[in-house]
Amino acid sequence: MFVIFGTKIKRKTLATKREHCLGCVITTEHELVDTSKWLTLFLIPIVSYKNEFYIRCKACGRDDHVSESRSRSFKRNSKIMEK
């Protein structure tokens, strides 16, 4: 018998908002992305061990890693994708 361990990354868009981008220097749509890393057993996610938030420019694709408190402030006054 053998056991297959692995990892999996799940990405979820939480909210969208128009902001000024430092990459393409225009005001455009940005999305808040929640990225969680999971340990898998036989390809089934079992335990989440790391959670990070990014704000991504939809025009140029620039990613900015943000703290959880910054992600909460982004959600305010933005279009929430899901709860």
Stretch that binds Zn ion, among 7-15, 38-46, 59-67, 72-80 (CB under 5 A): 59-67
Q: Is 55 in the site for Zn ion (CB under 5 A)?
A: no
* Residue type at position 32: L
Could you say which residues in the range 22-41 bind Zn ion, by CB under 5 A? 23-24
Stretch that binds Zn ion, among 1-9, 21-29, 35-43, 66-74 (CB under 5 A): 21-29
Would you say 40 or 66 has its CB closer to Zn ion? Answer: 66
Long-range contacts of 21-26 (CB under 8 A, 24+ apart): 21/57, 21/59, 21/60, 21/62, 22/62, 23/57, 23/60, 23/62, 24/57, 24/59, 24/60, 24/62, 26/59
Residues that bind Zn ion (CB under 5 A): 21, 23-24, 57, 59-60, 62
